[in-house]
Amino acid sequence: MFCRSELARLAKLNSRIEAAGAQVVVVTMGRPEETERFCGERAPGLRCFCDPEATSYRAYGLARGNTDQLFGPAVWLKGAQAALGGKFDGLPIGRPVGDPFQMPGTFVIGEDGRVSFAYYSKHAGDYPDDAELLRAVGAISGSQTT
């Protein structure tokens, strides 16, 4: 469910990210046709890629979550906040595509091939907030909020 709200948020921020000279690259664990349908419906302007074996997730140190990270109070709270804020798109949740225990993560890679930002989600609904994301790509300066 959080993947939907994260994709919608990235689509909303995409023009500002691109204006800062960065490109959004979304990785899913779906097969090509599943990913095309999922991204095409929710974020047609974003570039989505597939990794059904989750090889790239492991290469970036992204582990499978534990019970607390996947179903703990922080996850329920984030879910409730998103639902109240109208950020969930298309409930109820359908059949999961990909490993339901896999944790997400967000990185910025510079043109020199080095990591300039690394965010390992603390729980299933945890992603960097808008300001953190925009600062990471240089769309806003250090002291600015969104």
Partner 1 sequence: MSERPAISPRLQVGAVAPNITLTKTTGERVTLAELLRQGRVLLVFLRHFG
Q: Is residue 88 a contact point for partner 1 (CB under 8 A)?
A: no
State in angstroms the smallest separation of the CB of 85 from partner 1. 19
Q: Which of 66, 77, 109, 146 binds partner 1 (CB under 8 A)?
A: 109
Contact 39, 51 (CB under 8 A): no
Q: How many CA atoms lie within 13 A of 76 on its CB side?
A: 5
Binding mask 2-31 for partner 1 (x = CB under 8 A): xxx-xx--x------x---xxxxxxxxxx-
Q: For tokens 């930002």, what's the residue?
A: 117
From residue 23, how far is each of 16, 77, 84, 111, 138 by CA, in Å?
10, 31, 30, 11, 12
Candidates 15, 66, 81, 116: give the one binding partner 1 (CB under 8 A): 116
- 23 near 139, Cβ under 8 Å? no
Binding site for partner 1 (CB under 8 A): 2-4, 6-7, 10, 17, 21-30, 32-33, 35-36, 38-39, 48-51, 55-63, 93-100, 102-111, 113-118, 120, 124, 133, 136-137
